[in-house]
Amino acid sequence: MIQERKDYLTLHFIVLIWGFTAILGLLINIPSVEVVFYRTLIAAIGLFVVLKFWKRPLRINSSKHVWIILGTGALIAAHWILFFLSARISNASVCLAGMATCSLWTSLIEPISQGRKIKGFEVLLSIIAFIGIGVIFNVEFDYLSGLLTAVLSAFIASVFTVINGRLTKTYDPYVITFYEMVGACVAIAMFFPIYSMYFVDSLTLNPSASDWLYLGVLAIVCTVYAYSISVELMKRLSAFSINLVVNLEPVYGIILALIIFGDSEEMSPGFYLGTLLILTSVLLYPLLNRRYKKKALSTDIIR
């Protein structure tokens, strides 16, 4: 119980850090694809140095698992690109609203991948959380493209979260994160020729001094630290419970955006109602999950 409480407090701190990523994406001037390239490159180098300093082996025993982890890195790259793209074609609020569907996707994907029944209360809590996000941001039709981009990003995030939940049972979370950052960086580098040919006139690979500063914070704090700790937490918490708490990212993010950007990210009256709905779903989950486990255990005993 004490460890579980500690894990949830740590998770909330990580989500607070992630609430800052959409803001960093707006503060950095280079395009989204280039942002993610530098983010993953700096993170991979940083993790390599850290793992060497800790003298942790980088070896992955199975070549199949190496490809799975590298492929998961490519999914992470796609998720982050879509995340920053959504923030730029709409705003930070709409981007974070779309990301709230992550727990809903996970409530469907995780049980299917594990061959178990979908838990009705997980789906219900996800819907409550998403309604809360909608109330907070009162998303307008003008931002539909940004919202749909964020929803796709959330779907991809739920997929790699479930994959990581399995990988952490075998490998060190920091080693997993290192290879995923390498996979993400390589995937973007391979995408660059197509990207520069069809999407932009030329690549923007010359960040300003302020861009380097924000990229460093994004890579070291929001990725090397926060992402690695989140993977570590997957050893003890389910992918769904993690993504449900991640629904608070927009709440933390909008508060930070309000502090930094002021009137441009003003909170509406619906913010408090929406926050209450999200908090209700987050706080109810441990209680309902415990009740579900007890019921399942008592059923097994009767059998």
DSSP for 139-174 reads --GGGHHHHHHHHHHHHHHHHHHHHHHHHTTTS-HH
Predicted pLDDT of residue 256: 76
pTM (2 d.p.): 0.77
Helix axes 173-198, 63-89, angle to 10 degrees: 60
Predicted pLDDT of residue 73: 95
Of 281, 272, 235, 233, residue with least CA distance to 254: 272
Asked if 200 contacts 85 with a C-beta cutoff of 8 angstroms, the reply is no
The amino acid present at 191, given as its one-letter code, is F
Of 148, 166, 152, 171, residue with least CA distance to 57: 171
Domain locations in the chain as residue ranges: 2-302
How long a stretch of residues is the chain? Answer: 303
DSSP for the chain reads -HHHHHHHHHHHHHHHHHTTHHHHHHH--S-HHHHHHHHHHHHHHHHHHHHHHHT-----S-HHHHHHHHHHHHHHHHHHHHHHHHHHHS-HHHHHHHHTTHHHHHHHHHHHHHT-PPPHHHHHHHHHHHHHHHHHH---GGGHHHHHHHHHHHHHHHHHHHHHHHHTTTS-HHHHHHHHHHHHHHHHHHHHHHHHHHT-SS------HHHHHHHHHHHIIIIIIHHHHHHHHTTTS-HHHHHHHGGGHHHHHHHHHHHHHGGGGPPPTHHHHHHHHHHHHHHHHHHHHHHHHHHHHHHHHH-
CA–CA distance, 20 with 249 (Å, rounded to integer) = 9
CA–CA distance, 84 with 89 (Å, rounded to integer) = 9
Cβ-based neighbours of 109, under 8 Å, separated by 6 or more: 158, 159, 162
Task: Give, for all 303 residues of the chain, the pLDDT tens digit.
Answer: 678 888 888 988 998 888 788 788 778 999 888 998 999 999 999 999 989 988 888 988 888 999 999 999 999 999 988 988 887 887 766 777 777 777 778 888 888 888 878 888 888 888 887 787 777 666 555 677 887 898 899 899 989 988 988 888 888 888 999 999 999 999 999 999 988 888 888 888 899 999 999 999 999 998 889 888 888 888 888 877 887 787 777 678 777 777 776 655 455 677 667 767 877 777 777 778 777 777 765 555 454
The amino acid present at 73, given as its one-letter code, is G
Predicted pLDDT of residue 108: 82
Radius of gyration of the chain, Cα coordinates, nearest whole angstrom: 19
User: What would the pLDDT profile of 61-104 be if each residue is shown by its tens digit?
Assistant: 888 999 999 999 999 999 988 988 887 887 766 777 777 777 77
Q: Which two tokens stand for residue 257?
A: 């955006």
Classify burial at 190, counting beta carbons within 10 Å of its beta carbon; exposed 0-12, middle 13-18, buried 19 or more: exposed
User: What would the pLDDT profile of 220-236 be if each residue is shown by its tens digit?
Assistant: 998 889 888 888 888 88
